Amino acid sequence: MTTECRKLRLELKPVPMLIYRRARIYLSALNTSMRASVVIILMLLPTIGFTQMQEETRLPQLKTIQLHMFGNQLGYPVLELNSADRMELHFDDMDANIKNYSYTFQLCNADWTPAMASPFDYISGFMQQRISTYRTSNVALTRYTHYQAVLPDRNCAPRVPGNYILKVFLDGDTAKLAFSRRFLVFQNIALIAADVVQPFNANYFRTHQKIEFKVNSKNLQVVNAGQQMSVTILQNARWDNAVTQLRPTFMTNNILQFNTENEAVFPAGKEWRWLDLRSLRLQSDRVDSGHYYKNSTEIFVKPTASRSAQQFNFYGDNDGMYRVETLDNFNPLWQADYAIVHFTFVPSGNAPYVNKDLYLFGELTHYGQDPEAKMRFNADKGVYETAITLKQGYYDVGYATVDKNDSKKKFSFDETEGNYWETENSYMILVYYRPLGGRYDQLVGLTRINSLTGGLQRN
């Protein structure tokens, strides 16, 4: 083997062996100078095109995008492989005309980088499917077209366990991406035992929650657990604060042990605020006023302030999510109306946070990712303000700060909501496994646990 090929094989560890072999063939046919150039280019491959795939919405006219379990708007989309599990996809196009939307799936690794696999390896049936169920709105003042689909379709379905991206695009052209959303397909092979406890660390004892867990890998061929196995933990189905790439510290009798004292620890937050918009005419307790026009509605939410110093009180919430509902005996899918909803946050002393931005937070703003989530400080009033378009429904609402110098955009409740160990949170533990010689990570174990009930749920 030439020196260049040895160097290539050393540097391109994330790239499958197929690329090594092809590179050797190509390099052998090149002269020395050209060979060196090719080696440099190939060494850059791990940093080119292997970025994490994020959820995104590229068409601003699309509103109320929901991907959830069938019949459960609060159910995170998780399918057990080869089961009868189904998901629902819903979204509204505010252009209010008929368009040709289709969807496909993209398999990803545990870190959401694209898997090195052909769609034929992980999709059963057609590579894409048209969304054929839609209806124009009626009754509502706001005009829109509602699209919906039940996934997976028998003609287009995932065939292997793992992380998936649902891609919805226009006119049968995958380059015309409209939006993308994450979902999971798991195969129940690895067994998980878990519990939510208070951390031993005195700095986190009253404000954080720790996840303790063990994984039974007896049904897997594990040779090197540190490389083949990894765990991800989600709090309330959020990916922005997920703990990822947890590796086992040792294995005893097929039981994988993890050091969770410092790694699997989450700020507990507080029970979410709520906003009842199930009726735009019957103003609920959190609504200050409404302006009603011929073709639109504006709702002004009562100004609110930080709760970080308030005593903890438990009440039921939706863990940051929302439900599209009405109190008007209308079909919420295509008869519910929209409103421009104005939010106001009053900071302490009517002064802006120092070196921090404030965000309207929760599923209603895609957990701070929507452009309208970032609130603007109104110096004349001494308050933060923003306005977003929302459909009739029941919403969980939160406020979070982000350090302006934080490139990772880590959201914090420290100064707006507070963190309390007693808070009810739901956790999802995901176990990934890559077989020897495998080209992608498989999701081989999944379980849910609640901090309040302690109930362990297996799918």
pLDDT at 44 over 60: no
Q: Which tens digits make up the pLDDT trace of 123-178?
A: 999 999 999 999 999 999 999 999 999 999 999 999 999 999 999 999 999 999 99
3-state secondary structure of 33: helix
In whole angstroms, give the CA distance from residue 103 to residue 87. Answer: 14
Q: Which tens digits make up the pLDDT trace of 231-264?
A: 999 999 999 999 999 999 988 999 999 988 888 9
**How much is the pLDDT for 18?**
42
**How much is the pLDDT for 26?**
46
pLDDT at 48 over 50: no
DSSP string covering 241-284:
EEEEEE--SEEETTEEE---TTTSEEE---PPEEEE-S-SSS--
**How much is the pLDDT for 21?**
45
pLDDT at 27 over 70: no
More confident residue, 46 or 416: 416
3-state secondary structure of 299: strand
Mean pLDDT to the nearest integer, 411-437: 97
Mean pLDDT to the nearest integer, 425-433: 98
**How much is the pLDDT for 259?**
81
**How much is the pLDDT for 455?**
56
pTM over 0.85: yes
pLDDT at 429 over 70: yes
Burial 383-393 (b: 16+ CB within 10 A, else e): bbbbbbebbbb
**How much is the pLDDT for 50?**
65
**How much is the pLDDT for 168?**
98
Mean pLDDT to the nearest integer, 7-20: 40
Q: Which tens digits make up the pLDDT trace of 332-351?
A: 999 999 999 999 999 999 99
**How much is the pLDDT for 42?**
43
Of all residues in the chain, the percent with pLDDT exceeding 90 is 83
State CA 55 to chain mean position distance: 7
Close Cβ partners of 224 (under 8 Å, ≥ 6 residues apart) = none
Mean pLDDT to the nearest integer, 187-193: 95
**How much is the pLDDT for 329?**
81
pLDDT band at 280 (very low <50, low <70, confident <90, very high): very high
421 Rama class: left (phi>0) / alpha (psi -120 to 50) / beta: alpha
Backbone angles phi and psi of 196, in degrees to 5: -105, 125
Q: Which tens digits make up the pLDDT trace of 68-83?
A: 999 999 999 999 999 9
**How much is the pLDDT for 28?**
54
451 Rama class: left (phi>0) / alpha (psi -120 to 50) / beta: alpha
**How much is the pLDDT for 17?**
41
Using CA atoms in the order 130, 132, 136, 142, what is the torsion angle rounded to 10 degrees?
Answer: -30
Cβ proximity of 135 and 333 under 8 Å: yes
Q: Which tens digits make up the pLDDT trace of 379-391?
A: 999 999 999 999 9
**How much is the pLDDT for 433?**
97
Peptide bond into 435 cis (omega under 30): no
Q: Which of 239-243, 255-259, 295-299, 372-376 has the lowest mean pLDDT?
A: 255-259
3-state secondary structure of 448: strand
**How much is the pLDDT for 31?**
55
pLDDT at 14 over 70: no
Q: Which of 267, 275, 236, 230 is nearest to 249 (CA)?
A: 230
3-state secondary structure of 239: strand
Cβ proximity of 231 and 258 under 8 Å: yes
DSSP string covering 87-121:
EEEEEEETT-S---EEEEEEEE-TTSPBPSS-HHH
Close Cβ partners of 383 (under 8 Å, ≥ 6 residues apart) = 303, 344, 345, 346, 347, 350, 377
Using CA atoms in the order 410, 416, 418, 423, what is the torsion angle rounded to 10 degrees?
Answer: -80
Mean pLDDT to the nearest integer, 10-25: 42
